[in-house]
Amino acid sequence: MSPISGVIWDLDGTVLDTESLIFQVAKEVVSRHGAELTESAAQAATGLRPLESWQVVADRMELTVPAAQLLAESEELLCDRWKEAKMLPGALRLLRHLQATGVPLALATSSNRANLTKKLSGHAHVHAAFQTTCCGDEVERGKPAPDCFLAAAEKLGLPPESCLAIEDSRPGVQAALAAGMHVVVVPSAVGESAAGCFKGLHCPRLHTLPSLLAFKPETFGLAPFGDIIGSTIPVDPAWRIRGTVVKGFGRGSRELGIPTANLDDASLKSSLAEAVTGIYAGFASIGSSPAVHKTCMSIGFNPVFKNKQKTCEPWILHDFEGDFYGEEIRLVVCAYIRPEADFVSIEALVEQIHGDAAVTRAALDLEPFASLNEDPFLLPGVLP
């Protein structure tokens, strides 16, 4: 493949998590008109320009109100809320890395100029990272037409074939492929809807990733990240989590031979509600014991088992005698290993988890992780 000389980013659902805001507001607008917004209608509307999105919703939900009115209602509600949008996992890290290594960067968004400004008002450093921005109201045709990607490449002075587009939605991917670019897609849609969302879009120029944390710049001939320690990404500052060990699904020891001390729901909600799902490494201690052990843990939905609820499950790399349900567990989580994944078999999952344990053991011997095993938070009886 030709080397990448510039990266062109989509905004909504790729850099910023505006999707959940938009969904909340769209639900409210649709309910005003006596209907209930379905997941599939919202899905079909993702990635298009605002008016086109509302036309899709109006058609799908068989609303008699004109799309323009629905848009006006939602814009009014969203106007003050855009600044609430948070950066998506790994977006800031990748943006900073590309900027620091001199890669030309552009934004190609379906948003109009006024909304782009509002959305990035709380993230001035992000806005400044892009040499150029191309908005939905500045091109003739919106995504899935290639116009905004082509315009962005032209503004960067680069041929489209040497550009990498980063996208989250189907129309966005179609637009970038039509522009002749390489595309990395981090689907916003999850589970079943994600599977259907990119159906039929096969192209050697298209690469799918679970999140931008899994992006490897060297795959595209770009400088590798410099922050990797022992093949993990540091979690900085480390998370200090205290919880109670509760009963899980009872399959860790039995089915996998890997016991996991599941954290209670309340501590999960208070300290990890927004944590990126994935596999992490850190140190743990239990109950009244000051002993500190290396630990690898999964936070998320266990795709292999299709859990409906998020769990946090530390596997403490130590042989205990018996179990310790109801005891306090203290965790200092300092390294991200990989995203949660689906596997074809339980054996393949178990093998991967043993690989994670090996990564954990090795990485936690390295600084700045190693000294965290003396973190006072891990001592019994120390208050937060």
Among 54, 315, 336, 369, binds ligand ADP (CB under 6 A): 315
Q: Which of 17, 19, 73, 313 is catalytic?
A: 313
Instruction: Extract long-range pairs of 20-25: CB within 8 Å, 24+ residues apart.
Output: 21/78, 21/81, 21/82, 21/84, 21/85, 22/74, 22/78, 25/74, 25/77, 25/78, 25/81
Minimum distance, C-beta of residue 263 to ligand ADP, in the bound complex (Å):
10
E-assigned strand segments in 256-355: 278-286, 293-300, 311-316, 328-338
Query: Which residues from 51-110 bind ligand RBF, rule CB under 6 A?
Result: none
Minimum distance, C-beta of residue 26 to ligand RBF, in the bound complex (Å):
31
Query: Which residues from 214-253 bind ligand RBF, rule CB under 6 A?
Result: 248-249, 251-252
Of 194 and 246, which CB lies nearer to ligand ADP in the complex structure? 246
E-assigned strand segments in 136-196: 163-167, 182-185
Tell me which stretch binds ligand ADP (CB under 6 A): 196-204, 257-265, 267-275, 296-304: 257-265
247 binds ligand ADP (CB under 6 A): yes
Neighbours of 140 (CB within 10 A): 8
3-state helix, strand, coil in the chain (%, to 5): 40, 20, 40
Instruction: Please tell me what DSSP assigns to residue 232.
Output: B
- Which distant-in-sequence residues (6+ apart) come within 8 Å of 254 by Cβ? none
Among 256, 317, 350, 362, binds ligand RBF (CB under 6 A): 256
236 a catalytic residue: no
313 a catalytic residue: yes
Residues across the chain: 384
Minimum distance, C-beta of residue 86 to ligand RBF, in the bound complex (Å):
24
- Which distant-in-sequence residues (6+ apart) come within 8 Å of 17 by Cβ? 85, 86, 87, 88
Query: Which residues from 298-337 bind ligand RBF, rule CB under 6 A?
Result: 298, 302-305, 313, 315
Site residues (CB under 6 A) for ligand ADP? 245, 247-250, 252-254, 259-262, 315-316, 318, 320, 323-325
Site residues (CB under 5 A) for Mg ion? 248, 252, 260, 262
